[in-house]
Amino acid sequence: MEWRKLYWLGPGVEEDLVWSRDISPVLGNLPKNVMDIWHFCITEMFNNAIDHSAGNTVYLKVAKTAANTQIMMMDDGVGIFRKIQSAMSLIDDRHAVLELAKGKLTTDPKGHTGQGIFFTSRLLDSFDILSRGVYFTHTFGSEEDWNLERPESTDGTTVFMKLNNHSARTDKQIFDQYSSGDDYGFTKTVVPVKLAQYGDDKLISRSQAKRLLARVDRFKTVLFDFKGVETIGQAFADEIFRVFAQGHPDIEILPTNATPEVQQMINAARVQWANDLGGV
């Protein structure tokens, strides 16, 4: 089954109506936990198009099979990475992808908190954003084929979402995963270290580390995910695991998916920290 509709953005177009009048009936009889997830993701992404894109239209396409549902949402606005890049004065639009991955990123702090994309990307099996040739990707498990045709490139922002119709995931599970302690807020994040690495450049400098550390002081627990990173340099490790950690005793800084080589560098930074303390 395939369904599509073009929306003109303007008065009267509201994300909750898009969900209740159009998408919810199109999806039909899916389990409640799956419907709850789609409800969150569709309304968050449509709200983004309304509030942030400055575009005129949103094109929505739904493809449902017995196994899964895929939804594509394409706006003709300014483009998400360009918007973030200019709002945060970043030198590279790939840097916008890294900031987006950390969460709590918003260019409109008065009306928003920067949770929409972080949680949408984690609730689904697969979530991609394409804008002006730059990709943001989040995939649960292994990558599968898409049967929705993808545009080569787009000036605005296109979001691709996919979820198994029989997924056991619940939104509560995912929200709980990123809150820590008895505070039910969004207090925990995972920083994909690889996103600070452009091309074959090794992660060795303090500047690269600082790029990863930007804004992480908004969280209580920060997991640095080294997936896809073979090795790191001494200064890079020292900046995160000694200098920053020492300066922010209230923030828990933890590595995950570290290779033995990466772990060795982290350990060295921690030993140095212990020595600093011992020397006082």
Ligand X SMILES: Nc1ncnc2c1ncn2[C@@H]1O[C@H](COP(=O)(O)OP(=O)(O)OP(=O)(O)O)[C@@H](O)[C@H]1O
Residues lying near ligand X in the complex (CB under 6 A) are found at 44, 48-49, 52-53, 75, 77-78, 80, 83-84, 105-108, 112-118, 157
- Based on its alpha-carbon atoms, the radius of gyration of the chain, rounded to whole angstroms, reads 20
Q: Give the CA count within 13 Å in the CB-facing half-sphere of 82.
A: 13
Would you call 159 helix, strand, or coil by DSSP?
strand
Alpha helices in the chain (DSSP H): 15-17, 24-27, 32-52, 80-87, 93-102, 116-123, 171-177, 206-213, 234-238, 245-247, 260-278
Of residues 58 and 209, the one with the C-beta less far from Mg ion = 58
Task: Give me the least distance between CB of 52 and ligand X, in Å please.
Answer: 4
Residue window 113-132: x/- pattern of binding to Mg ion, with contact defined by CB under 5 A: ---x----------------
The CB-of-35 to ligand X minimum distance in angstroms stands at 20
Strands 157-164 and 134-139: unpaired
Q: Residue type for 39, please?
A: H
Closest residue to ligand X in the complex (CB) = 116
Asked if 255 touches Mg ion (CB under 5 A), the answer is no
When CB distances are held under 5 to 8 angstroms depending on the partner's kind, the choice from Mg ion, ligand X, none that residue 106 binds is: ligand X
- The least CB distance from residue 164 to ligand X, in Å, is 23
User: At its nearest, how many Å lie between ligand X and the CB of residue 248?
Assistant: 24
* End-to-end Cα, the chain, rounded Å: 69
Is 48 near Mg ion (CB under 5 A)? yes
**Binding footprint of Mg ion on the chain (CB under 5 A):** 48, 116
